[in-house]
Amino acid sequence: MSSDGPIVIIGAGPAGISAAKTLAGAGERPLVIDENACPGGQIFRRPPPAFARSETQLYGFDASRARRLKSTFEAIAPSIEYQAETFVWSIEDRRLHLSTAGTLKSISFGRILLATGAMDRIIPIQGWTAPGAFSLGAAQIALKAQANFIGRRVVFIGTGPLLYLVAYQYAKAGANVIAVLDSSRPFSKIMALPALLTDISNLSRGLFYVGQLLLRGVKVQTAIAPIEIVTSDRGVTGIRYEQGAQQRQLDCDAVAIGYGLKAETQLADLLGLSFHFDRHQRQWLPVTDGAGRTSVPHVYIAGDGAAVRGSEVAEWEGELAALSLLEDMGRGAQKRAAVLRGRIDSLSPFRRALDEHLFPLPHQFAVAISDQTTICRCEGITAGQIRETVATMGEADINRIKSFSRLGMGRCQGRVCSAAACELIAATACVDISVPGRLRGQAPLKPISLSVLAGGGR
């Protein structure tokens, strides 16, 4: 394959910005394409100027990193091309099909670096489609990008470090946080995990958030299992859950749900990258050489879209992938690459301790979902319908289940439901979690109106 044409970076979060800086520093002029209006990715989302909230209010401990990334981007802006509010809706024959505010454009590329990030991993429960139930990431975006709380009395449920961070951000901004309900039992394990000591600053931040929540009188409960979100026809009115043998209920008008993150891999899929099932993160991830190269020549990947390791690692990975790209163009910087690999490796025991011990994915919850619970929000497909399809058809491949049941066939292409659906399918068919496979990505990756496709614009 030829590598003529521009270098394109997809995503302007920590990984994408860091890659752009590296390439610009080497005299290249990459094109950075991003869905958001401002650079920074989901982590450093910012409100429109009219909202006037300070970086410290927005990002807390990460304010200095937010400022640094912002000034990095400003410094390289003259040396790169940047297209905001633009999404790639298809890739074919080394051409990217782009949509910017209803205007379509195709460009060819020589090399491409994916920095597409991650989104929340969700385990559905009864009531999760009602107004007032949102993903944990959504709760954070409402606050950071829109200066809103998702409700007046908010419960955070799920597991993972982000659960405590967002709850703390809400409490600090003045929200009425009713409870943090964690399916894991992190506090009983902290002392038994020496790997956590490899990143004292992140560990102490986490403990700070928990301490602040407790100081503010927020109920923090661990080892819980959700039963249902209680709803009226207007939306969320409460949540029911189990803790040990006890059933409990809390009144609230909003629930934020998140069980860690899952990589956004639709573009990697369209580009034909090889995937492997990662047992630690319990998801399908693109195969890499550990330095940002993928199974397809001229295609590179970095950040949470490659494997969920957080925004600090994403920055290093962005630089490393850009260095690999430059090396493949005959311009090596192996010394720097070795330093970056060392840094990334040094944090992997910490990440593993988080994923496997502190906040393990409670995949058994997916198996316990009641038959009437909606799994696929787009098409309204319930857990019962999926179980029935698996049982009647004798199928365990999620793409086959999709064609029989319409699961994952809606507008989101299974982004929200496929992780839980795979758990459900595997459990029903009594097969390993890798057997259902992954939903194939299809163009257009996100909806485009027919009038735009027909060239009418709007």
Partner 1 sequence: MFQRLPHVIRERFIVQVDGHPVDAYEGETILSALLSGKGFVRHFEFRSERRAGFCLMGACQDCWLWHVSGERVRACTERVTPGMRLATSQPGGTR
- Judged by the rule CB under 8 A, the positions of this chain that interact with partner 1 are 35, 42, 47-53, 85, 87, 119-120, 129-135, 137-138, 141-143, 145-152, 173-175, 233-235, 253, 264, 377-380, 410-412, 415-416, 446-447, 449, 451, 458
Minimum Å gap between C-beta 138 and partner 1 is 4
233/228 Cα distance (integer angstroms): 15
Cβ closer to partner 1: 358 or 383?
Answer: 383
Cβ closer to partner 1: 46 or 94?
Answer: 46
Rg, the chain, Cα only: 22
For Cα atoms 75, 119, 70, give the angle at the middle one, nearest 5 degrees. 15
Structural contact between residues 133 and 126, judged by C-beta atoms closer than 8 angstroms: no
Q: Which two tokens stand for residue 332?
A: 């090596």
Cβ closer to partner 1: 120 or 182?
Answer: 120
Q: In a 3-state reduction of DSSP, which class is residue 116? A: coil
Q: In a 3-state reduction of DSSP, which class is residue 5? A: coil
Minimum Å gap between C-beta 316 and partner 1 is 24
Minimum Å gap between C-beta 50 and partner 1 is 4
Q: What is the DSSP string of 388-453?
A: HHHHHHT---HHHHHHHH-TT-STTTTTTTHHHHHHHHHHHHT--TTTT--PPP-SSSS---HHHH
Minimum Å gap between C-beta 279 and partner 1 is 25
Cβ closer to partner 1: 173 or 393?
Answer: 173
**Tokens 């994916």 — which residue?**
114
Longest dimension (CA), the chain: 64
Structural contact between residues 453 and 446, judged by C-beta atoms closer than 8 angstroms: no
Nearby residues of 85 by Cβ (< 8 Å), 6 or more positions away: 34, 35, 36, 37, 100, 101
Cβ closer to partner 1: 122 or 250?
Answer: 122
Minimum Å gap between C-beta 232 and partner 1 is 10
160/7 Cα distance (integer angstroms): 35
Smallest CA-to-CA distance from 289 within 329, 331, 317, 261 is with 317
Minimum Å gap between C-beta 206 and partner 1 is 24
Exposure string for 205-214, b = 16+ CB within 10 A, e = fewer: bbeebbeebe
Structural contact between residues 369 and 125, judged by C-beta atoms closer than 8 angstroms: yes
Minimum Å gap between C-beta 388 and partner 1 is 18
Minimum Å gap between C-beta 127 and partner 1 is 11
Minimum Å gap between C-beta 380 and partner 1 is 4
DSSP H helical ranges for 77-117: none
Cβ closer to partner 1: 35 or 182?
Answer: 35
Cβ closer to partner 1: 128 or 350?
Answer: 128
Cβ closer to partner 1: 69 or 257?
Answer: 257
Cβ closer to partner 1: 50 or 454?
Answer: 50
